[in-house]
Each structure stands twice: as C-alpha cells, then as structure tokens.
Structure 1
Amino acid sequence: MTSGSGDSRHGAALRRAVCRTDDGEKVTKVDDPEAEAAVPERLPTAPPLTERQRERRRRILQATAQLACRGGFEAVQMREVAESSQVALGTLYRYFPSKVHLLVATMHDQLERLHGTLRKSPPAGETAGERVAQTLMRAFGALQREPRLAEAMARALTFADRSVSPEVDQVSRQTTAIILDAIGGLEDATAAQLSAVRVIEHTWLSTLITWLAGRASLAQVRADIETVCRLIDLTETEPGRTAAPV
C-alpha cells in the first residue's frame, strides 16, 4: 500500500505509543522525534504539584541538563531522560509531552537558578542600561560555559509551536524578571519601558542563537547587547504616564 509524501509526513506526526506512568496510568506519547513539536495542545493547567511531584520534576530537569551538556540536542532522548531521572517513561511524558517541551522547561529552570546567583551579586553600572548589559553578559557567560546545553535549549525554543506556549512564556517571564531586577525593579514600569525590555529580551536571545551558530563573535554579542540596553535609558518614567502591567 502506497501513499503520497504529504500523507507519510502526516502519518509520522500522528504515530503514537501508549506507556504507563509510575502510578500505572496510561498516557500517549509521540513516537517520531521529528514530530515532537507538533503534539496537540494540552488540557487546561493541572492542580499544583505535590512535594513528591516537584522532586520528581527536579530530577527530570537535572537529567535533561546533564544529557544536553554531554551531547547537545540529539543526546536528549526521552527514554534516556526517564532512566537517568528514575521515573517511568509514561510519567515523563505526562510532565513533558515532547523533547521540545522538556528542553524549554529546562531553559526556564536554568534561568531561574541563574537569577538567584545574579541577585547575590547585583550589577554596579551607573545607568540602568549599563546594569542590564552587565547582567545579560553575565547570563551569556554562564550559558557560554555549557555550549551544548545552551544550543539544545535554543534549538528547542526555535522549534516550539503553540503547544509549548506555557513553557516559552515562563522563559520570557524569567528573562524579563532578570532584566527588571537589573534596572531596579520598575514596579511602576510604563508601557514604553516594558516595550524596551521586550526588545532587549529578543535581542539577547537572538545574539545567543547567532553566537551558538558561529555567526557572531563574543565582541559582536557584547556590542549588540550594550547598544540595545541603552533603550532603557531613553524610556525613563515621564510625569503623568500610566504604569503598564508586567
């Protein structure tokens, strides 16, 4: 029996396998790595995790980071992650429906850890723009020390579709929080200031991807980040401006 190439691709994207969680629950997983980012959107947000579930999730993210550090994006295989984190494969798919979901969540976890480190030693620049640039270059340096992990997480971000929106939003919010802390909080940030923060965030991620691809030097990365961070100094709070929600 034959079919067109379009049907073959469609079939690959829909191939599924049933596996069990640690609790014996059956879940469906994607059987084709190339179709992982095309999994259907998940149901509404689940209840808060228990302490046991949070610990299990921490082990999963730690195992993912370790595998990515050793071999990059291709080294992160769901079965390997399950074995390394000592959870059932079905449990892993219940937490993260695909490798893309998993790696984007890992990026959020890495940024959250980095944020804690940065808070212990805040930047010392005279202007908000200088402080943000210093902070983002320190964050860049941390990712630079583990280039395979950084490359894996960046690739996952570029592959992410709408089904990964919650995880991508978490990465964005964490990056925004890092920038706002460097500025000085901006509890009453204006729309213009938040717009500048978004542009800075986009530029930072873009320069990271460009550097990982070997298309930019560290000096170019620094110049781009320092340039875009000056936007913050051009958007100081104006009298009468309405603060925008963060």
Structure 2
Amino acid sequence: MSITTEVTTTTDSERSRAGSPAQQERRRRILDATIELASEGGFEAVQMREVAERAEVALGTLYRYFPSKIHLLVAALGREFAGTESRTAQRAIPGETAHERVMWILSRMTKNLQRQPQLTEAMVRAFMFADASVTDEIHVVGMQLTAVISRAMAGTPEHGEATVEEAAIIRVISDVWLSALVSWVTGRMGAQEVQDHLDTAVKLILP
C-alpha cells in the first residue's frame, strides 16, 4: 500500500473533520490513550475497551470516532507526522541539495520512530493491515508526508502544492521508506541498514 495517495500539501480535510472543541478534546484523549497503550505493549496492547477506559469515554463513543484499532493506530501515525509537517511549514530544512534535505528530514523521522519501537511496530502493522475503510486516515498520513518531502525537495517552507512529477517522486520515496520501516519492525533490517537503504534510493531519485 502506498503511503501517499493524492497530489496535495495541505491537511484541510483533517481540520474540517475536527469538529467542536469538545469533540477535538475527546479525539485528543482517545489518541493519547492509543499511543500510550501501543508504547507500552505494541499492537496487541491496543484494545478498544482499554482505549475507551483510559480516554474516559464510553465504548460506543469511541466506535463513533474510530470503528477499529486499525483506524485508531493509523490516525495515531498521522498525529505523529503532524508535528513534523507543522515544523517544516515554519522553517527551512537544512541541506544544499534536494537529496541532502530529504535525507535530513527522513533520517530525523526514522530515528524518532525507532526510539519508540513498540509504538512504531503497532502503527506500521496497522498501516499494513488497513483496508478501504481506513481511506480517510491514510489520506491524512499521505498529505502530511507529501507536504514534508515536497518542502524538503524545494528547500523552502513556502513551497505550494506538489506538481504531478513531484508527487510521483514523493510516492516512490515514501514507498521505499515505508518498506524499510516494515523491514526494521520485523527485524529484517537494522537501524543503520534502514538509513543506508533509504540514502541509496533517494540518491538515485534526486540530484
């Protein structure tokens, strides 16, 4: 499954679905609880009843927000990316070339994920298992990653919507990155191997 889905660099669809302040707060608590449980015990630790109890919401309310743990964990992945997306919108990414800038930001994102192995395992597994019902959550993740890589390629936080050609490049880079993360989560690659594999791919794609 490709992590990027459309040519876009905004997260308007996520903001438009945020709802009232009370709904936003409830959603925040639910995702906080999901991330805490996944950090403690990985994919299997995220159970809907446990999430509801920790977030202090009724189980029926939780299901109205997120129909399954897959929806929960992919949304959590989107929130993990949101901070990076916001920061790249405010300041330029270091590097003299597109290759250097893309590697700088992806290396930082990878290291942040590797510092939370159980949480990352849970979110990556959920992304792998996601079906068509999780399209909205996957779309948000894709938009955020597209925005980050697009700004890194351009070298400016003011970079607008990705072109069709840029989007194709971003899709390939994103897919390589996701594949490397899956290999790391499943123990087929070490942290340095992930870095080397990604650097080789980006170097071949970008000047």
Question: Does TM, scored on the shorter chain, surpass 0.5?
Answer: yes
Q: Give 2:39's aligned amino acid.
A: C
Contact 2:99–2:202 under 8 Å retained in 1? yes
Q: CA deviation at 1:118?
A: 5.4
Residue 107 (structure 2) aligns with: 137
**What is the distance in 1 between the residues matched to 2:140 and 2:17?**
17
Higher relative contact order, chain-length normalized (CA < 8 Å, sep 6+): 2
Contact 1:73–1:151 under 8 Å retained in 2? yes
Q: CA deviation at 1:171?
A: 0.9
**What is the distance in 1 between the residues matched to 2:161 and 2:97?**
18
Contact 2:103–2:199 under 8 Å retained in 1? yes
Whether 2:29 is the aligned partner of 1:62: answer no
Residue 189 (structure 2) aligns with: 216
Whether 2:85 is the aligned partner of 1:115: answer yes
**What is the distance in 2 between the residues matched to 1:88 and 1:203?**
39
Contact 2:184–2:194 under 8 Å retained in 1? yes
**CA distances 1:17-66 after superposition (whole Å, capped 9, x unpaired):** xxxxxxxxxxxxxxxxxxxxxxxxxxxx9965111000100000011000
**What is the distance in 1 between the residues matched to 2:162 and 2:43?**
37
Whether 2:172 is the aligned partner of 1:173: answer no
Identity of aligned residues (%): 48
Alignment counterpart, residue 163 of structure 1, candidates 133, 140, 153: 133
**What is the distance in 2 between the residues matched to 1:122 and 1:108?**
21
User: How do residues 198-217 of structure 1 correspond to structure 2 at under 5 angstroms?
Assistant: 198-217=171-190
Residue 36 (structure 1) aligns with: none
Q: CA deviation at 1:219?
A: 2.1
Q: Give 2:94's aligned amino acid.
A: A
Q: CA deviation at 1:137?
A: 0.7
**What is the distance in 1 between the residues matched to 2:92 and 2:185?**
26
Give runs of ≥4 in structure 1 deviating > 4 Å: 45-48, 117-122
User: TM-score normalised to the size of structure 1?
Assistant: 0.72
The alignment's C-alpha RMSD in Å is 2.1
Contact 1:70–1:148 under 8 Å retained in 2? yes
Whether 2:202 is the aligned partner of 1:229: answer yes
Q: CA deviation at 1:124?
A: 1.9
Per the alignment, do residues 47 and 64 of structure 1 end up closer, same or farther by CA in structure 2, a change over 3 Å counting? closer
Q: Give 2:201's aligned amino acid.
A: V
Per the alignment, do residues 129 and 97 of structure 1 end up closer, same or farther by CA in structure 2, a change over 3 Å counting? same
Q: CA deviation at 1:180?
A: 1.4
User: TM-score normalised to the size of structure 2?
Assistant: 0.84
| Structure 1 gaps, min length 5 | 1-44, 235-246
The structure with the greater share of residues assigned to helix is: 2
Q: Using the TM superposition, name which of 190-199 and 136-145 deviates more.
A: 190-199
The secondary structure found in structure 1 opposite 2:95 is coil
Q: Which has the larger radius of gyration?
A: 1
Residue 170 (structure 2) aligns with: 197
**What is the distance in 2 between the residues matched to 1:47 and 1:182?**
27
Contact 1:123–1:131 under 8 Å retained in 2? yes
**What is the distance in 1 between the residues matched to 2:57 and 2:145?**
30
Q: Give 1:49's aligned amino acid.
A: G
Residue 93 (structure 1) aligns with: 63
Contact 2:150–2:166 under 8 Å retained in 1? no
Whether 2:77 is the aligned partner of 1:104: answer no
